[in-house]
Amino acid sequence: MRVYDWTELEQIAFELKNGKAAIVETDTVMGIICLERNLIYNIKKRSKNKKLVKLISSTDDVPNLSENEIKIIKKYWPGELTIIKHGVGYRMPNHPKLLELITKVDFVYSSSANLSGRMPIYDYLEAISIFKKYTFDLIVVKGKQQNDHPSTIVDFDKLKVLRVGVIDPQPIINKL
C-alpha cells in the first residue's frame, strides 16, 4: 500500500486515474475516494443499495439547480453539506488540497473510510492497519479526521433531511 503526502497531487491523481482508491482526509471524517464506484463497495464490504456521494469542485457540476438551490449551495459550499439532486449525492468539501485533486480527475465517488457498519477511521495510520490487505487497490494520503461529525445530507428532490451532521439543516429546508 503506497502512502502519499498532499504535496504529491499529480501522483495521487495518476493512481486514481489508473484504478486505485485513496483514503484521504476531508473537512469532515476520513473518506475513501475513487473513480470506479464498485471499488469502494468491494473495499468497504458495503451493500450496493447504499449510494455513494460525488465529491465535486464546482457548483456547475450539479445539473438543473433552481435559483433557490444555487443560493443554498453557494452559501454552504465548499463545506459540510451533501445534497441529493436527481437521486445523486453531491458535496464540495472545504479542503483546498482535496478540491485541487478533484479538479485533476473531474470528480470522485466517496464514502466514509471504514468497513461497512463500523465507525470511520481516525487517521491514515489506522487506514493502513485496517485496509492492509487491499495493497493493490488502495493508496493512503497522510492526514487525520478533521471533524467528529459527518456532513449534513439534504435531499433537494424530496425536501427532506436524511442526516443531521455539522450543519443545521432547518434553514436549508425552509429555503427550498
- Encode the chain (176 residues) as per-residue pLDDT tens digits: 899 999 999 999 999 999 999 999 999 989 999 999 999 999 998 999 999 999 999 999 999 999 999 999 999 999 999 999 999 999 999 999 999 999 999 999 999 998 888 888 889 999 999 998 877 899 999 998 888 888 999 999 999 999 999 899 999 999 88
Q: Which three cell numbers stand for residue 134?
A: 487491499
Task: Scan for cell 459527518, then name that residue.
Answer: 150
Residue-level pLDDT at 102: 98
Helix (H) or strand (E) holding 111: strand 108-112
pTM above 0.85, yes or no: yes
Q: Which three cell numbers stand for residue 174?
A: 425552509
Residue-level pLDDT at 119: 84
For residue 147, which of 26, 6, 13 has the smallest C-alpha distance? 26
Residue-level pLDDT at 82: 97
**SS3 (DSSP) at 88:** strand
Cα distances (Å, whole numbers) of residue 14 to 53, 126, 134, 138: 21, 24, 18, 13
**SS3 (DSSP) at 170:** helix
Do residues 34 and 126 touch, judged by C-beta distance below 8 A? no
